[in-house]
Chains A and B, each alone.
Chain A
Amino acid sequence: MPAPPPDDPSLLARAAGGDEGAWRCVVASYAPRVFALVRSRCRDDDLAEEITQAVFVTMAEKLGAGGYDERGRFEAWLFRIAMNRFRDHARKAKRQASPVDPVTLDAGADTRPGPTDGADRPADLARLREALGTLSEADREIVHLRHHAGLTFKQIAEVLQEPLGTLLARHHRALAKLRKVLGEPDEHPNAEHAS
């Protein structure tokens, strides 16, 4: 996982002031992570890019209007916007009963070609991707925020507005279920009791 870019107040302030260079720096730092999160949720590159763009437009509007007031919690704020945008889309897709419903696709096993499909792609990652499809929507959301978006548990708690302990327990149960689906033994038997 790449080191998360610093939550630089001066960079955000310059971007909010209309400095396009600063804004490009912000987008370049965060767009891949937002895209990865959204793509893992909807399994559609075009849709993921569309939603990612909507996320940054919303962010730019709020920054430009001085609506960002969550100093030090920029990533949680950004990914909360991303999750809200994805949920908005999922709700619309459900209402319209689209034949390519991203939520339905996300809930099932991923049979689409992966981003690095080829001879060198580890087979166990493909199995892992399929196993993720067996998790509940809520558990899969936590795994994606943690491992695809690269957020800390504290940030995930802020994004989902849930207690940190609840998230840790759910993440632990999600991993236990993944191991069960993959037919692997528990890696930390003692941790089961600790949580």
Chain B
Amino acid sequence: MTREQEQPKTPLEERLDALGALERDATPPGLASRIAQASAPSLRAEHPAVIARIGPAWASRLGALAACLALLIGVAALVVSVRPGEQIGTPTPVMATVAADMDLWLSLESMLNDPLDNRLNALHAESTALESYGEADLFTLELLSVLESM
């Protein structure tokens, strides 16, 4: 018995206890058996769930492992495909054209820096080459004609 239960109760507390006893006595017949029957499956319902919780955990771990493996394989494939010193890809026709244009412009620039150095003949030869090249734009040809007229 606890200390508080040993203390004598006042008449009002005894009447409240009696009222509480009336409430408990008012329990409908068969209440406990109905509740026990309805709630008993809940006792067992969680047991399979323990196993079920293991399943998703393993599945998620397996999925994470597969993702890691896929990532590693991808990185390894990238490392193997790109060797040191190896040029990635081969020169395309477009790249070759651009390189040729760059060379032409560089030579033109050197001539423009010294236009009076008897280079007009060479410039004429270049313009002829450009015409034969067929890829030079009109601006380049016009520029060359201006230079020729100087």
A residues with a Cβ closer than 8 A to B are 1-2, 15-16, 18, 20, 23-24, 27-28, 31-33, 35-37, 39-40, 45, 49, 52-53, 56-57, 59-61, 63-66, 114-116, 122, 124-125, 128-129, 132, 143-144, 146-150, 152-154, 175, 178-179, 184, 187-188
Contact = CB atoms under 8 A, between A and B. Distances in A.
Interface size class on chain B is: 35 or more
21 contacts: A18-B43, A27-B32, A31-B27, A31-B35, A32-B27, A32-B32, A39-B23, A49-B28, A52-B31, A53-B35, A53-B38, A61-B43, A114-B22, A114-B26, A116-B22, A144-B20, A147-B16, A154-B2, A154-B4, A184-B12, A187-B12
A56 B46 contact: no
Q: Which of B17, B34, B36, B50 has the most CB atoms of chain A within a 10 A radius of its CB? A: B36
Contacts of B135: none
**Main DSSP-derived SS at the A contact region:** helix
Interface of B: 2, 4-5, 10-13, 15-28, 31-36, 38-47, 49-50
Contacts of A129: 19
